C-alpha cells in the first residue's frame, strides 16, 4: 500500500508557487494524477472557473444561501486570486453568497480558528490543516467525517483518490477533502555556487558532501545556509531528525530520549549544532527573521535554502519588478535559482523528502445542522474540489484527484519546471513529524534551538523535556 501511495503521489507532482504555511508547513500536500497546468494570469483562471461545469453529482441547495468560509488562500498565497475567482464563479452559478474570512496560514491564524470553534463562531466551511492542528475541533465533534456526509450525499468526494486523503490523528476517520499538496526540498542560488566553484547537488548528495561544499562557499565569502534558527528552525529541525532515521520511522515520536528513536532526535539536534559551530549559518541566524534570511538567499548572499514548495512563489516574486504582475518577471534573474534534494545521511537518501497532503475542506456541524445551509455547504466543497476547478489552482505540488489534468510545459516558468523534474526523482515522501509533535512539547527544541546550538542546553536534555511534555499532555 505504501509504495502504491508514494507512486501515486509522485505521478502528480508539480510546483507550488505560494507562500503558504509560513512557520509550519506543512503547511501544511499528493496524488495519482499528473500535475495541472498553471494559468499564466488570474484572468485565465477566472475564465476557466466561470466556464467550468458543476459536477453532476453535486448537491443542489434549495435557494440563495449565505455561507461563511475560512481558508488559507489569502495574503501572499499564490492561489489567493484563484480562490477568489472560483468563489465568484460558484456564486454566479448558484446565486448563493460567500462571506470570506480567509487569512494567511500562520500560527496566529491557527489560534484564531481554534478560538472560533471554542466560542461557537466557527465558519460553515473551513479549509484547514488535517494533522494535529485539527484535533481539538474533531475531538469536539464540530466537523463531519466524509463517511457521515456520504450517508446523505453518497457521491461526495468520489472524484478523489481516497488512498491519499489522510485520516485524523484522533480517530483515523477522514474529514478534510484536499485540493493540493506540498513538498520540502533544498533551493540553491547558482550564482553563489558558481562563485565558490560548487556544483548543483544531485540525487546522491550526502551530508559529508554538503559540509565540504559549505566550507568552499564560506571560504569564497558567502553564507552557505540561509536559515533563521531563532525564528523558524523547522526545516532544519525536521530533516536533521530525518537524517538519523528512515522514511519508515520518521513519523514515530520516541517513547523516551533513551530509545533508538530518541537518540536519533538527539543526534539531529547535534548535527544542527555542528553546522552552527562550523559557521555555515548567517552570523545573525539566532536573531534574524525568516524574511531576512530569505532575502539573503534571493540577493545572492547565501547559497542554500531548505523550505517548502510554496517558496517557489516567493522566489519568483523576488525576480519580478512587480510581485503581483507575472509579466514583469526577469527570466535571467530567475535562471540563477534551482531546486534539488536535501543532503542525506545513513538510511535516508537525499531523494527521500518530506511532503504529502496537509490541508483540505471541512464541513462543520454548525452548517450541517442548519437546514438552509447543509446542501449549499456540500455543493460548495464539491465545486471547489471538482475535476474542473482543482486544476485551475495553479502551481501545486500535488492533487488528490483520481483523474490527471494534462501538463502544458509552456505554462510554467523555469523554476517550476525544475521542481517538476526534481520531484520525478523522489524515492519516498513522508509527512512532517512536526505535524504530530505540536504545541508545548516543541518549545524546548524549536524555541530552544539557540540554546542547543550555543551549548547552553544539552540536546539530550532539550529532547527529553519535549518528549516528557508530549507524553504527559
CB 167 within 8 A of CB 407: no
Instruction: Report CA dihedral (182, 14, 413, 81) to the nearest 10 degrees.
Output: -60
Cα separation of 15 and 422, whole Å? 10
Q: What pLDDT does 420 receive?
A: 81
2-181+357-406 matches 183-352+433-472 in fold: yes
pLDDT one-digit tens code per residue, 110-155 = 899 999 999 999 999 999 988 778 999 999 999 999 999 999 999 9
User: How many angstroms separate the CA atoms of 120 and 132, rounded?
Assistant: 20
Q: What are the φ and ψ backbone dihedral angles of 226, each rounded to 5 degrees?
A: -85, 105
Residue range 402-416: mean pLDDT, rounded: 73
**Quick one: cell of 159?**
472524484
CA separation for the pair 217, 236 (Å, rounded)? 19
Query: What is the model's pLDDT at position 79?
Result: 76
Residue 251 has pLDDT above 80, yes or no: yes
- Give the DSSP letter string of 25-53: BTB----SSPPPPPPSSHHHHHHHHHHPP
Question: pLDDT tens, 61-113?
Answer: 566 999 999 998 887 676 788 899 999 999 999 999 999 999 987 778 889 99
Q: Which of 78-87, 184-193, 270-279, 404-413 has the lowest mean pLDDT?
A: 404-413
The CATH architecture that domain 183-352+433-472 belongs to is: 3-Layer(aba) Sandwich (3.40)
- Residue 410: the pLDDT is 74
**Residue 3 pLDDT:** 40
CB 163, CB 1: distance < 8 Å: yes
Which of residues 79 and 453 earns the better pLDDT score? 453
Computed on alpha carbons and rounded to an integer, the radius of gyration of the chain in Å comes to: 22
**Alpha carbon distance 360, 145 (integer Å):** 12
Boundaries of every domain in the chain: 2-181+357-406, 183-352+433-472
**Per-residue pLDDT tens over the stretch 310-319:** 888 889 889 9
Task: List Cβ neighbours of 397 (8 Å cut-off, separation of 6 or more).
Answer: 13, 14, 15, 16, 29, 30, 180, 181, 182, 183, 309, 355, 423
Give the single-character DSSP code of 301. S
CA distance 12 to 176: 19
- The closest alpha carbon to 422, from 16, 1, 3, 2, belongs to 16
CA distances from 130 to 26, 147, 359, 447, 461 (A): 10, 16, 5, 24, 31
Write down the CATH superfamily of domain 2-181+357-406. Answer: Periplasmic binding protein-like II (3.40.190.10)
Q: Given this model, what pLDDT does residue 168 score?
A: 86
pLDDT at 424 over 70: yes
Amino acid at each position: 500500500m505504501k509504495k502504491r501511495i508514494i507512486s501515486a503521489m509522485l505521478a502528480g507532482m508539480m510546483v507550488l508557487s505560494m507562500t503558504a504555511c509560513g512557520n509550519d508547513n506543512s503547511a501544511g500536500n499528493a496524488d495519482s494524477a499528473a500535475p495541472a497546468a498553471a494559468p499564466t494570469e488570474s484572468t485565465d483562471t477566472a475564465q476557466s472557473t466561470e466556464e467550468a461545469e458543476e459536477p453532476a453529482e453535486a448537491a443542489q441547495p434549495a435557494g440563495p444561501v449565505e455561507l461563511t468560509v475560512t481558508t488559507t488562500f489569502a495574503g501572499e498565497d499564490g492561489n489567493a486570486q484563484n480562490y477568489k475567482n472560483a468563489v465568484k464563479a460558484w456564486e454566479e452559478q448558484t446565486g448563493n453568497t460567500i462571506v470570506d474570512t480567509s487569512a494567511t496560514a500562520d500560527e496566529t491564524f491557527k489560534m484564531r480558528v481554534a478560538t472560533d470553534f471554542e466560542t461557537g463562531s466557527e465558519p460553515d466551511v473551513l479549509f484547514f490543516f488535517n494533522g494535529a492542528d485539527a484535533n481539538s475541533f474533531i475531538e469536539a465533534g464540530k466537523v463531519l467525517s466524509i463517511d457521515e456526509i456520504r450517508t446523505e450525499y453518497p457521491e461526495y468526494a468520489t472524484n478523489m483518490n481516497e488512498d491519499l486523503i489522510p485520516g485524523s490523528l484522533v480517530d483515523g476517520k477522514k474529514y478534510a477533502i484536499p485540493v493540493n499538496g506540498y513538498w520540502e526540498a533544498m533551493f540553491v542560488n547558482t550564482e553563489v555556487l558558481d562563485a565558490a566553484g560548487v556544483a548543483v547537488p544531485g540525487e546522491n548528495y550526502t551530508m559529508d558532501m554538503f559540509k565540504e561544499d559549505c566550507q568552499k562557499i564560506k571560504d569564497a565569502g558567502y553564507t552557505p545556509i540561509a536559515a533563521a534558527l531563532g525564528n523558524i528552525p523547522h526545516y532544519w529541525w525536521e530533516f536533521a531528525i530525518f537524517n538519523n532515521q528512515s522514511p519508515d520511522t520518521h513519523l514515530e515520536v520516541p517513547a523516551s530520549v533513551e530509545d533508538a528513536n530518541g537518540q536519533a532526535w538527539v543526534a539531529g539536534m547535534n548535527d544542527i549544532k555542528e553546522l552552527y559551530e562550523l559557521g555555515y549559518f548567517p552570523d545573525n541566524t539566532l536573531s534574524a527573521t525568516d524574511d531576512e534570511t530569505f532575502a539573503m538567499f534571493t540577493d545572492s548572499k547565501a547559497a542554500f535554502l531548505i523550505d517548502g514548495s510554496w517558496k517557489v512563489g516567493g522566489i519568483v516574486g523576488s525576480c519580478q519588478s512587480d510581485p503581483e504582475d507575472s509579466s514583469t518577471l526577469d527570466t535571467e534573474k530567475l535562471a540563477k535559482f534551482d531546486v534539488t534534494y536535501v543532503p542525506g545521511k545513513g538510511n535516508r537518501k537525499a531523494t527521500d523528502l518530506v511532503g504529502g497532503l496537509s490541508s483540505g475542506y471541512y464541513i462543520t456541524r454548525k452548517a450541517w445542522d442548519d437546514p438552509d445551509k447543509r446542501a449549499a455547504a456540500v455543493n460548495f466543497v464539491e465545486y471547489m474540489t471538482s475535476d474542473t476547478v482543482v486544476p485551475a489552482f495553479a502551481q501545486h505540488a500535488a492533487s488528490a484527484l483520481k483523474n490527471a489534468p494534462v501538463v502544458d510545459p509552456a505554462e510554467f516558468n523555469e523554476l517550476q519546471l525544475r521542481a517538476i523534474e526534481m520531484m520525478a526523482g523522489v524515492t519516498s515522501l513522508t509527512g512532517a513529524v512536526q505535524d504530530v509533535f505540536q504545541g508545548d512539547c516543541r518549545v524546548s527544541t524549536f524555541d530552544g534551538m539557540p540554546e542547543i546550538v550555543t551549548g547552553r542546553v544539552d540536546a539530550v536534555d532539550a529532547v527529553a523535556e519535549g518528549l516528557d511534555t508530549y507524553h504527559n499532555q
